[in-house]
C-alpha cells in the first residue's frame, strides 16, 4: 500500500516531481560526461602509443630491454609465429619489427632517425597505417624504398621521389649504409615519432643492418586490450626458461602509465567537487519540496497518521524520483556520449599545439563502458537517498500545531 500511495503522491504535483527528477538526471549526465571524457582521453593516448609504437605485448630477446642493440635480436621465422599463435585463442595476429637508430640525410640536412623495418600488411592491420599516407604510396617488400613520417621529411627537406641516405651501425658492429627512394609520406599522430620515424620494409631493414632473419621485437595483438595481461602470462609460461622477455604495454611505456595515474588522481578531486555541487543542488530541490508540504504533513499527523508511516511514504517518493532521475540520466547521457564518441570534440588553436607537443591528437573522445554508468549512477543515487533522509528527520521532529498553521 505504501508503494502505491508514494507512486500516486509524486504525480499529484507533476511540476514538483519533474523538477526533482530533472535535477537528478542532469547530475547523472554531468558525472557521466566527466568520467567518460577522462576515460576516452586516456584510451586515446594508450591506443596511439600501443598501435603506433609498442603494441600491447612484445616478445624480445631477454637482453634487449637493458641493452637495445641489434646484437640482441631474436630469430624470426614461421615456427616462432606458429608457436606464439598456439599459446592462446585470444591472440589475433603478430607484427614483426626491426628497430634501430641511424643518421638520416637528404641533400642538405641530416637528422637522427628511428628506422623501423616492418611487414607493411601486418603493420597496416595493427594501425591502419596505409590510410595515413598523405603523398606517394607504401613500399613493396624489398623494393629499396622508404616511407617517411611528415615531421622528419620536412626536417630533411625530402619529398616523394627524392633519395634518403641512412648511415649507422649494423649487427655485431658492422657499418650500415644505404640509399632509399622516398616512396611516400605518412601523417603520424604522435609528434615526437613523426619527427624521427623512417619506415623500411623488414627485408630492406634486415639487409641494411646485416641482420638476416632477425627482428628486435615481435608484437602480439590480442583480440582486445583487456586480454593483454592474460595472454602475456600464457606466453611467459610457454617461453619460461628460454632467452625471451615478454613485456606488456604497461611495462613498455611506464612514463605514460604514471602520467595517466597522476591525471586520474586529479580527476578524482574534480569528481569530488562535482559531487558536492550535485549534492547541494539536489538538497535544494528536496528542501523546497519539503517546506512546500509542511502544512500537508501537519494535517496528516493531526488526523492520526503515524509519523513512521508518513516518513516511509515520503522516503519512497524520493526513492521513486531518484530512480526515475537516474534512468533518465542514463538515457540522455547515452545519447550525448554516443554522439561525441562518433564526433569527438576537436581542440584548435594554441591549445591544440600544446597537446600535439605532448604527443597526442588534439581531440576529446568519449568512452562508453558499463562500469562508468554503474558507478556514476550508483554514486548519484546513493547521494540522493542520503539527502532524502532530511524530510524523514523533519517529519520525525515536526511540531504538528505549527505545521498545520503554515
What confidence tens digit (pLDDT) does each residue in 260-271 have? Answer: 888 888 888 888
Residue 218 — pLDDT band, cuts 50, 70, 90? very high
Is residue 88 domain-shared with residue 213, that is, in the same domain?
A: yes
Is residue 192 domain-shared with residue 278, that is, in the same domain?
A: no
Choosing from 228, 251, 274, the residue where a domain stops is: 251
How far apart, in whole angstroms, are the C-alpha atoms of residue 290 and residue 300? 14
pLDDT at 405: 66
pLDDT at 360: 65
SS3 77: coil
Question: Smallest Cα–Cα separation from 24: which of 324, 366, 299?
Answer: 324
Is residue 185 domain-shared with residue 290, that is, in the same domain?
A: no
Is residue 271 domain-shared with residue 387, that is, in the same domain?
A: yes
Q: Which structural domain range is residue 285 located in?
A: 1-49+256-404
Is residue 181 domain-shared with residue 238, that is, in the same domain?
A: yes
Read off the pTM: 0.69
Residue pLDDT, tens place only, 272-289: 888 888 788 778 878 887
Question: Looking up cell 637482453, which residue turns up?
Answer: 63
Distance of CA 115 to the CA centre of its chain: 28
Q: Check residues 13 and 116 and name the one with the higher pLDDT.
A: 116
pLDDT at 401 over 90: no
Mean pLDDT computed over every residue of the chain: 85
Residue pLDDT, tens place only, 23-55: 888 888 888 888 888 888 888 878 777 877 788
Q: What is the mean pLDDT of residues 152-180?
A: 89
Is residue 81 domain-shared with residue 133, that is, in the same domain?
A: yes
pLDDT at 293 over 90: no
Question: Smallest Cα–Cα separation from 266: which of 46, 5, 37, 26?
Answer: 37
Is residue 336 domain-shared with residue 209, that is, in the same domain?
A: no
SS3 84: helix
Query: Is the alpha carbon torsion for 49, 53, 57, 58 positive or negative?
Result: negative
Phi, psi for 392 (deg, rounded to 5)? -65, -45
How far apart, in whole angstroms, are the C-alpha atoms of residue 347 and residue 355? 9
Is residue 7 domain-shared with residue 143, that is, in the same domain?
A: no
pLDDT at 357: 63
Question: Smallest Cα–Cα separation from 52: which of 138, 118, 137, 144?
Answer: 118
pLDDT at 115: 93
Residue 207 — pLDDT band, cuts 50, 70, 90? very high
Is residue 165 domain-shared with residue 197, that is, in the same domain?
A: yes
Is residue 37 domain-shared with residue 159, that is, in the same domain?
A: no
How far apart, in whole angstroms, are the C-alpha atoms of residue 117 and residue 212? 12
Is residue 72 domain-shared with residue 213, that is, in the same domain?
A: yes
Residue 198 — pLDDT band, cuts 50, 70, 90? very high
Share of residues in the chain with pLDDT > 90 (%): 22
Choosing from 201, 225, 251, the residue where a domain stops is: 251
Is residue 289 domain-shared with residue 302, that is, in the same domain?
A: yes
Query: What's the structural domain count of the chain?
Result: 2
Amino acid at each position: 500500500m505504501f508503494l502505491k500511495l508514494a507512486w500516486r503522491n509524486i504525480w499529484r504535483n507533476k511540476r514538483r516531481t519533474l523538477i526533482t527528477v530533472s535535477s537528478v538526471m542532469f547530475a547523472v549526465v554531468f558525472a557521466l560526461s566527466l568520467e567518460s571524457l577522462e576515460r576516452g582521453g586516456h584510451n586515446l593516448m594508450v591506443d596511439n602509443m600501443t598501435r603506433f609504437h609498442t603494441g600491447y605485448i612484445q616478445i624480445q630477446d631477454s637482453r634487449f630491454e637493458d641493452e637495445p642493440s641489434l646484437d640482441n635480436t631474436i630469430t624470426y621465422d614461421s615456427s616462432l609465429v606458429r608457436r606464439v599463435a598456439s599459446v592462446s585463442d585470444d591472440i589475433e595476429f603478430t607484427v614483426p619489427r626491426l628497430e634501430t637508430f641511424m643518421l638520416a640525410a637528404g641533400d642538405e640536412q641530416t637528422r637522427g632517425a628511428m628506422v623501423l623495418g616492418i611487414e607493411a600488411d601486418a603493420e597496416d592491420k595493427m594501425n591502419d597505417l596505409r590510410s595515413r599516407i598523405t603523398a606517394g604510396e607504401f613500399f613493396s617488400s624489398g623494393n629499396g624504398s622508404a616511407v617517411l613520417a611528415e615531421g622528419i621529411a620536412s626536417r630533411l627537406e625530402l619529398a616523394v621521389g627524392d633519395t634518403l641516405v641512412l648511415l649507422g651501425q649494423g649487427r655485431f658492429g658492422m657499418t650500415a649504409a644505404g640509399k632509399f627512394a622516398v616512396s611516400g609520406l605518412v601523417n603520424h599522430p604522435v609528434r615526437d615519432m613523426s619527427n624521427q620515424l623512417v619506415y623500411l620494409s623488414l627485408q630492406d631493414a634486415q639487409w641494411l643492418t646485416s641482420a638476416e632473419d632477425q627482428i628486435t621485437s615481435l608484437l602480439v595483438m590480442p583480440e582486445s586490450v583487456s586480454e593483454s595481461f592474460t595472454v602475456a602470462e600464457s606466453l611467459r609460461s610457454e617461453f619460461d626458461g628460454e632467452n625471451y622477455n615478454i613485456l606488456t604495454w604497461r611495462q613498455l611505456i611506464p612514463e605514460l602509465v604514471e602520467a595517466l595515474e597522476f591525471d586520474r588522481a586529479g580527476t578524482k578531486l574534480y569528481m569530488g567537487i562535482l559531487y558536492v555541487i550535485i549534492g547541494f543542488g539536489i538538497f535544494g530541490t528536496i528542501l523546497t519540496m519539503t517546506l512546500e508540504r509542511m502544512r500537508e504533513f501537519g494535517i496528516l499527523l493531526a488526523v492520526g497518521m503515524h509519523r513512521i508511516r508518513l516518513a516511509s511514504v515520503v522516503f519512497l517518493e524520493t526513492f521513486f524520483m531518484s530512480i526515475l532521475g537516474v534512468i533518465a540520466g542514463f538515457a540522455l547521457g547515452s545519447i550525448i556520449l554516443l554522439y561525441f564518441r562518433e564526433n569527438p570534440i576537436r581542440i584548435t588553436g594554441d591549445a591544440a599545439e600544446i597537446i600535439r607537443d605532448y604527443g597526442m591528437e588534439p581531440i576529446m573522445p568519449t568512452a562508453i563502458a558499463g562500469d562508468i554508468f554503474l558507478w556514476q549512477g550508483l554514486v548519484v543515487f546513493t547521494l540522493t537517498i542520503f539527502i532524502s533522509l532530511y524530510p524523514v528527520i523533519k517529519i520525525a521532529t515536526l511540531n504538528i500545531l505549527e505545521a498545520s498553521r503554515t
